[in-house]
């Protein structure tokens, strides 16, 4: 007997395929970005397999949002460090002295 339930990886692939025409209409840069979104989703396939959702797209969106939140947190952290460095007086950090 074969599988009766599609695996989450198969569901993600099927979801990505359903967006094929949309992807084709995008510019090359946008296609690359679009592909990265589904890479984010596949990165969390194991976690998504624990959630019984009627549509796999919900798991795809949640995985993408999770990865984007992590990236945004990293950018915020780097920006805070950069701003803290710039707020120091030049005599405190010789690298900033002109």
Tell me the pLDDT tens digit for each residue of 39-57.
999 999 888 888 877 788 9
- 39 in any annotated domain: yes
pLDDT at 2: 62
Whether residue 10 contacts residue 60, with contact meaning beta carbons closer than 8 Å, is answered with no
pLDDT at 54: 73
Query: Helices (H), strands (E): how many in the chain?
Result: 5, 0
Range of the domain at 27: 8-88
pLDDT at 88: 74
- 50 in any annotated domain: yes
Q: CB-based contacts of 26: which residues, under 8 Å, 6+ apart?
A: 34
pLDDT at 80: 95
Inter-helix orientation angle 28-43/8-18, to 10°: 160
> What's the total number of domains in the chain?
1
- 18 in any annotated domain: yes
What is the rounded distance in angstroms from the CA atom of residue 32 to the CA atom of residue 16? 13
Question: Could you say which residues of the chain have pLDDT below 70?
Answer: 1-5, 89-98
| pTM (predicted TM-score) | 0.72
- 1 in any annotated domain: no
């Amino acid at each position: 007997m074969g599988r009766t339930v599609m695996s989450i990886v198969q569901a993600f692939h099927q979801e990505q395929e359903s967006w094929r025409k949309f992807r084709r209409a995008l510019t090359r840069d946008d296609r690359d970005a679009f592909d990265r979104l589904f890479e984010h989703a596949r990165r969390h396939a194991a976690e998504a397999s624990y959630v019984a959702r009627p549509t796999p797209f919900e798991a795809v969106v949640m995985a993408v949002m999770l990865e984007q939140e992590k990236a945004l947190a990293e950018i915020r952290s780097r920006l805070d460090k950069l701003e803290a460095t710039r707020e120091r007086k030049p005599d405190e950090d010789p690298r900033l002295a002109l």
